[in-house]
Structure 1
Amino acid sequence: MKKQVLVAGGGIGGLAAALGASRAGWDVRLYERAAAFSEVGAGVQIGPNVVRRLQAWGLQQALQAVAAFPSRLQVRNAVSGRELAVLPLGPTAVERYGAAYATIHRADLHGLLLQGVTQGTDAQLHLDHAIDRFADSGEVVTVRTSRGKEVEGDALIGADGLWSRTRTQLLCTMPPRVTGHLAYRALVPQQALPEALRTIQVTAWLGPRLHAVQYPVRRGELQNIVVIVQGPAPQDLENWDHAANAAGLDHALQGTCTTLQDLVRGVSDHAPAGWRLWPLCDRPPVRAADEMARGLVGLLGDAAHPMRPYLAQGAGMAIEDAAELQRALAMHDLEVPLRLTRYALNRWQRNARVQARSIRNGRIFHATGLVRWGRDGALRLLGERLLDVPWLYRGDGAGASAL
């Protein structure tokens, strides 16, 4: 008889967990608080380490149909506009790491995972039906849903995001910490922009106390741009998507180069939804395996290790988690708590490393004074060696990178 796993959350992490658990031979019941599956419009970068996992799930064709595949990553000084360094992507990434580097609309990534679950598995998806609390007897885990229903399973995976109720009950942790960084983000049709402002690559602009990233999504038809600045967060942190005033962003970019300011004004003029504001929150890096699994309950993605976006690996680590969960749940000769322990042991150190590197990158990206000059000099001198991240893209512990 198949074992049954209950999954809290229907975002990218929850769907990836459902897909992985189903591939491991488990029955899956997923519970999502929202009344419909949807993802807020924003771009996501997925490195070769993540693309390989999607390929293993048979999603390469679906990815190819919706993603963009930039040929290179360019880093520029946000004040002077000068190019500092370039990392080849495209065929170079495939040759080095066995898979491409992709940029994708978050809703498209969510959609292809949803397609994988609904068309390739027997998972049951329950909308408007969140998991509010659980009880772990050691033999079964019993959850109570937002509709007052009690459901039993052999395991529970909390993939319910930054404000995870599963995590709160499992670890008795404090709320996420406010980073003091704010992300202005927008999506704009490339054809609506002057040709000089369109892009087929990833460009990162580094400036004092801010940086911007632009890249194509949805086969290159849309451009995603994110500008991250330092400042106080809105009070309503759980409602992460706030209306943002383009004038405030213009003010934050005073002193940056004309090219970057022209890009932001062009987006302001042509983005259908305008600029949205995202206050960044995270948690300290994971300290031990038991912060990702205890007993019959495991945590995955942002519920386990929310991270700053300065390594572009938030969604990627959730997908990697799900792939490792699949391997652990398929160990049918082990008791379920041992399977979840194996999952956590194989994931916590890598997640902690990515969290720590993301924090470090934020300091480097936003550096001022002599540190900023040193950063730019190192990029001009060492370029590709600093931008590449072999330990991350290979999925192993080797290598190092300053960015």
Structure 2
Amino acid sequence: MHKQVLIAGGGIGGLAAALGCSRAGWEVRLYERADAFTEVGAGVQIGPNVVRRLQAWGLQSALQAVAAFPDRLQVRSAQGGRELASLRLGATVIERYGAAYATIHRADLHGLLFQAVRGRPEVHLNLGQAVERHAEEGGAVTLRLVRGDGTAVEVEGDAFIGADGLRSGTRARLLGETPTRVSGHLAYRAVVRQDALPQALRTTRVTAWLGPRLHVVQYPLRRGELINVVAIRHGTPPADLETWDHGANAQELEAALAGTCTALQDLVRAVPQAGSGWRLWPLLDRPPIAGPHEMARGLVALLGDAAHPMRPYLAQGAGMAIEDAAELQRALAMHDLDVPLRLRRYALNRWQRNARVQERSRRNGTIFHATGPLRWGRDMALRLLGERILDVPWLYRGDGSSASLL
């Protein structure tokens, strides 16, 4: 008989987990608290380590239909505008790592995973049901679910995966309530149609503009039809983001970019204020994972941001969730082991890589926003070493398997 896994959360991590678990031969019941499967946010960069995993799941054609595949990553000075270094992508990355470097809208990545799981008869997707609590007893795990109308129901399974995001209720019940870490950085995100921009501002590349206490990243989305722009600066988040007037974001951002080069200021000013315009997100994370016990205990495991939220300075948040799902698939397919041991194997094979990415992401933020001598040293190193600094072989050669742990 098929074992049954219960999953909390219908975001990118939850859907990837559902796909991986079903491919391991498990029946899947996924519970999402919202009334629809949607994804908020803007663009995502996915390196060859992630693209290889999507290919293994048979999603290469779906990815090619919605993603962009930049030909180069370049780093420029936000103040002077000059190029500091560049990394060849495209065919070079495919030859070096066996898969492409892609950029994709979060909604498109979520959508292709959703389409992949909805057609699998062993996956049951449930909307409008929040996991209020879980409990283990007698070799099974029980969830109490609360529907939007306040009614409650209990369900039972053989394992439970918390993929319920940064403020994960599963994590709080498993590891105890601990506050997220405030980074002191604010992210302003916008997505613009390329044909609405002057020709000089359109791009097929990933460009990172580095400045004192800030940086801006731009890259194409959706086959190159869109451009994603993310500006991150040091700052204090609003007291209540729910009531925050996002109409003020453009003015705040332009003030923060005073003194940067004309090309960068032109890009930021070209974002239309009609529609969504600039949306503000304070960046939060947690300290790097300290051991496998922070990813799995007994019949319960954590995945993605529920386990290891990270800053976006290595562009691997969504990627690590997909890698988690790949390793979860491998672990759950070990049918000669009991379930707690399979989940422990998953955690043992993931926690060090996730912790390394978390720490490297934090460190990159310090380097990106450097001032004074550290900034001068950074720029000199980029000019001298170029691709040797921008390439990340330990990351891109890995795919979440135990064999590529480090």
TM-score, length-scaled by structure 2: 0.95
2:232 corresponds in structure 1 to 228
Counterpart CA distance in 1 for 2:155 and 2:245 is: 32
The answer to whether 1:216 aligns with 2:220 is: yes
Contact kept? 1:22, 1:121, Cα under 8 Å: no
- Taking a change above 3 Å as real, the CA distance of residues 138 and 177 of structure 1, as seen in their structure-2 partners, is farther
Establish whether residue 5 from structure 1 lines up as the match of residue 5 from structure 2: yes
* 1:168 corresponding residue in structure 2: 172
Distance 1:367 1:236, change over 3 A: same
Matched, 1:67 2:45: no
Among all aligned residue pairs of Structure 1 and Structure 2, give the percentage whose two residues are the same amino acid. 75
Give how far 1:267 is off.
1.2
1:298 paired to 2:301: yes
Q: Distance in 2 between matches of 1:76 and 1:146?
A: 50
* 1:199–1:237 Cα change, 3 Å: same
Q: For residue 397 of structure 1, report the CA deviation from its aligned partner.
A: 5.5
> 1:112 maps to which residue?
112
Q: Specify which of 388, 391, 394 is matched with residue 391 of structure 2.
A: 388
For 1:94, give the aligned amino acid.
I
Q: CA separation of 1:377/1:43 partners in 2, compared to 1, >3 Å: closer, same or farther?
A: same
How far 1:173 moved relative to its partner? 3.4
Question: Which SS does the other structure have where 2:86 is aligned?
Answer: strand
SS at match of 1:130: strand
* Aligned mate of 2:257, from 244, 253, 258: 253
Partners of 2:110 and 2:250 in 1: CA distance = 28
Paired with 1:223 and 1:241, the residues of 2 have a C-alpha distance of: 24
1:133–1:239 distance in 2 versus 1, CA, 3 Å: farther
- Inter-partner Cα distance in structure 1 for 2:131 and 2:18: 15
Which residue of 185, 190, 193 corresponds with 2:194? 190
Deviation at 1:329, TM superposition (A): 0.3
Q: 1:262 aligns with which of 251, 266, 274?
A: 266
1:293, 1:299 within 8 Å by CA — same for their partners in 2? yes
* Aligned-partner SS, 2:270: helix
Cα RMSD after superposing both structures: 1.5
Structure 1 length normalisation: TM-score? 0.96
For residues 191-219 of structure 1, the C-alpha deviation after alignment (integer angstroms, 9 at most, x for no partner) is 00000001100000000000000000000
Q: Cα deviation per residue 1:29-81 (whole Å; 9 max; x = unaligned)?
A: 00001100111140000000000000000000000000000001000000000
Partner of 2:91: 91
- For residues 386 and 268 of structure 1, the distance between their equivalents in structure 2, rounded to whole angstroms, comes to 35
Structure 1 residues 319, 237: CA separation in 2 closer, same or farther (over 3 Å shift)? farther
Aligned counterpart, 1:401: none
Q: How far apart, CA to CA, are the structure 2 residues paired with 1:243 and 1:176?
A: 27
- What residue ranges of structure 1 are gaps of 5+ in the alignment? 399-403
2:312 equivalent among 306, 309, 324: 309
Deviations 1:235-271 (A, max 9, x none): 34689996652100100101111100000000145x6
For residues 297 and 213 of structure 1, the distance between their equivalents in structure 2, rounded to whole angstroms, comes to 37
How far apart, CA to CA, are the structure 2 residues paired with 1:329 and 1:146?
28
Counterpart of 1:25 in 2: which secondary structure? coil
Count, aligned residues: 397
